[in-house]
Amino acid sequence: MDIKVKVGCCGFPVGMKKYFENFEVVEVQKTFYKPPSLKTAEKWRSEAPKNFEFTIKAWQVITHPPNSPTYRKAGIEASNCGFFRPTDEVYSAWDVTREIAEILKAKFILFQTPKSFKDTDENLQNMREFFGSIEGNFTFGFEPRGWREERIKKICEELDLVHVVDPFVSEQLHGDICYFRLHGFNYRHKYTDEELMKLRGLLRKDGYVMFNNVHMFDDALRFKGLVGEQE
C-alpha cells in the first residue's frame, strides 16, 4: 500500500537484541518515569541498527503533578511541576528530555497527560507557553484523556501537535501523520486477527502503530506482517 507505517512496541518487551531483529522502531518508556543517563542513551543508540528509530515519551515532570502515583513508581520526588506549568522544574525536565532525544536521534516526542489534566483555559495557556518556548527539530504528539473534541482539535491545530490516539477508542483529530498507541481495551488483552484486520483498515496516513499491552511483542509482529502483505 502507499501508506507507510512503522510498527513497534511501547518499551522493550524482550531483550534489545531480539527486538532490534524484529522491529524498526520503539517508544522509550524510561524517559517518562526516570530518564536514563546520557551514557545509557548513547549505548542504546550505538547498539541499535543504523536505521532503527527511537520515539520517546516526555518526562512526567513536564506533564504529571507531583501527587501522581507514577512518581512513586519511579522513586523520585518533585514539586512545582507538571501540567506544562511555566516553572524552572518543568523547563529543566524538558532540557533532559530534549538532550536524550537528540542522543537517540529521535524524531517524535510524545506528551501524555493524566485524566487530572483537564481542558481548562489555564491548562491550555500553559501548553501555549510551553510549546511556544521550547526548541528542537522534533514532531510533538499529544495524548490527552477526557478532553472535549473541540478543545483537542483547537490546541493541536494551534500548536501543530499530532493528536495521539488508540484508534479503537477515539478518532485522530489533527496531524499530518498518525501515531496510534494500542492499549488493548485492557492491558492483558490479546488482539484477535479480526481486530488487527480492522486496525489495518483504520490506517489513512503515514505514521506509527505502537502496541502497549501484555502481548505487545506478538501482536505487533502479527500486525507488521499484515501491513507488509498490503504493500
**What's the confidence (pLDDT) of residue 229?**
58
Number of domains in the chain: 1
pLDDT digit string, tens, across residues 57-86 = 999 999 999 999 988 888 888 889 999 999
Distances (CA, A) of 33 to 71, 153, 171, 178, 209: 7, 28, 27, 24, 22
**What's the confidence (pLDDT) of residue 74?**
83
pLDDT digit string, tens, across residues 89-135 = 999 999 999 999 999 999 999 999 999 999 999 999 999 999 999 98
Q: For residue 159, what are the contacts with CB-CB under 8 A and spacing of at least 6? A: 127, 128, 131, 132, 140, 142
CATH number of residue 223's parent domain: 3.20.20.410
**What's the confidence (pLDDT) of residue 1?**
53
**What's the confidence (pLDDT) of residue 2?**
81
The cell for 37 is: 543517563
Domain assignment of residue 50, given as a range: 5-230
**What's the confidence (pLDDT) of residue 77?**
83
Percentage of the chain with pLDDT > 70? 98
Which 3-state string (H, E, C) describes 20-85?
HHHCCEEEECHHHHCCCCHHHHHHHHHHCCCCCEEEEECCHHHHCCCCCHHHHHHCCCCCCCCCCC
- Between 228 and 47, whose confidence is greater? 47
- Between 79 and 5, whose confidence is greater? 5
**What's the confidence (pLDDT) of residue 70?**
87
pLDDT digit string, tens, across residues 124-177 = 999 999 999 998 899 999 999 999 999 999 999 999 999 999 999 999 999 999
Q: Whole-prediction pTM value? A: 0.95
Give the chain's end-to-end CA distance (angstroms, integer): 4
